[in-house]
Structure 1
Amino acid sequence: MVILPAIDLKDGQCVRLFRGDYSTAHRVAASAVQTAEQFQKSGAKWLHMVDLNGAKAAVPVNSKLIFQVVRSTDLKVELGGGIRTMQAVEHYLQSGISRVILGSAALADPDFTAKAVRKYGDQIAIGIDARNGMVAAEGWTHTSHMDYIELAKRVEAVGTQYIIMTDIDRDGMLTGPNLEMLEKLQKAVSCKIIASGGVSRAKDIEDLKALHLYGVICGKALYNGDLKLEEALEIAEEK
């Protein structure tokens, strides 16, 4: 299982949120670049990044800082937030991003999503963020009437290989991942599932590994010290 430490960017700073609420943003590290470098020193191979401003504005916002992170490490970076056009997808992939995440676009523009998946294959991941099982979008400010399994099956049908699943109510709360939701998704589609939200301790990594998921994103627990990245990597047997 792949461990992906997370860096969320808002106004050029490395922050974390509670349940996706932008008003709760608080700085968790002095430098995104230094944080990424430390993740690499600890043994990470992948980095999960989100442009929070971009997610809300529907266009890339923190690109300059994101590219600084890419240039300063050897980490493979998957990136989401504000990627709504083929031009944005191409710009990021041509500039060193390994995998881009389509979230709101997957819900609002299935034709664009299908074209991106067909053109770029495993360099595209679909981010499904759910609140009470219903897909949320626009930086989690809007909740749709579409069930997360329904959207997962729709994107699977066009060839999606990776799905990043977030239970918004667990995100940033350190209450453990929604294992029931993840297990249901794992059984419903053939895509590789990356779990996001709620990871608080080593036991959570063990539980997620038992579901045979492809990967897990770790954020707040790493920053507050409840989970050591080296320990997570060892449990995942990535090292």
Structure 2
Amino acid sequence: MILLPAIDIKDGECVRLRQGDYDTAHKVAQDPLVTALSFAKSGAKWIHMVDLDGAKAKQPVNSEVFLKALESGLKVEVGGGIRTLADVEYYLSRGISRVILGSVALYDPSLVQESVKRWGEKIAVGIDAREGKVAAEGWTKTSKVDFIELSKQMEQVGVKFIVFTDIAKDGMLTGPNLEQLHQLNQAVSCHIIASGGIANLQNIQDLCALELYGAICGKSLYSGTLNLEDAIRVAQGEKQHV
């Protein structure tokens, strides 16, 4: 399983939220590039970055921060506010490895289909659920669409990667929603990346047992409940006492 440490950007700074609530944003690191370099030093190969301002503005806002992070040597996946083919092209043509489409998957699946047609596995879809229903617009709105239903639609248009977040778990350090992740992994053939709630090595082992493609760690790394080097070792299948 691939481990992706997370950097969420708001007002150009590294922050974390609780359950997607912008009012809970607090700064967790000084500099995005320095943070990315520290993740690389710990053995990470990928980094997951989110444009929180972009998600609300419905267009990229912090793109310069993400492009700067490429200097870390890590592969960068970016989500938040990416709503057009031009947005996707902008990031991928400048070295971003994977772009995450979120709200457009709900509102404009044809754009996802066209993106996959053009860029293939460089496209991921972010599906964020509140009580099983898909949320959008930076999690400020909740639809009536079931997360499994949308995942199947995305599979049908050729999406290979799905980043799934249970919003209730995000930033809470209470463990991921293993039941929903298992349901999703069984329902579609896409590579599933788990996001939200990961607190410790046991959680990493539990996700490995589900045979997921990847897992995103954010608050646990900044709060110190999870050591990135240890987590990567466990994710790669090395036995570790937890």
The 2-side partners of 1:20 and 1:206 are apart by: 25
Q: Letter of the aligned partner of 1:145 in structure 2?
A: K
Q: How does 1:1-239 map to 2 (within 5 A)?
A: 1-70=1-70, 72-237=71-236
The 2-side partners of 1:207 and 1:176 are apart by: 10
Contact 1:179-1:208 within 8 A present in 2 as well: yes
CA offset at residue 238 of structure 1? 7.3
State which drifts further: 112-121 or 78-87.
112-121
The 2-side partners of 1:109 and 1:206 are apart by: 36
- 1:18-52 residue CA offsets vs partner (Å, 9 max, x unmatched): 00000000000011110000000000000000000
- 1:147-192 residue CA offsets vs partner (Å, 9 max, x unmatched): 0000000000011000000000000000000000000000000000
Query: What is the CA RMSD across the aligned residues, in angstroms?
Result: 0.9
The 2-side partners of 1:202 and 1:155 are apart by: 31
TM-score when scaled to structure 2? 0.97
Q: Which sections of structure 2, spanning at least 5 residues, go unmatched? A: none
The 2-side partners of 1:196 and 1:52 are apart by: 15
The 2-side partners of 1:237 and 1:151 are apart by: 30
CA offset at residue 225 of structure 1? 0.6
Q: Secondary structure at the match of 1:6?
A: strand
Q: Letter of the aligned partner of 1:172 in structure 2?
A: G
Contact 1:93-1:99 within 8 A present in 2 as well: yes
The 2-side partners of 1:119 and 1:154 are apart by: 18
The 1-side partners of 2:163 and 2:64 are apart by: 24
The 2-side partners of 1:41 and 1:238 are apart by: 20
The 2-side partners of 1:226 and 1:20 are apart by: 20
Structure 1 runs of 4+ aligned residues shifted over 3 Å read: none
CA offset at residue 67 of structure 1? 1.1
TM-score when scaled to structure 1? 0.98
**Identity rate, percent:** 60
CA offset at residue 237 of structure 1? 1.1
Contact 1:3-1:238 within 8 A present in 2 as well: no
Q: Secondary structure at the match of 1:171?
A: coil
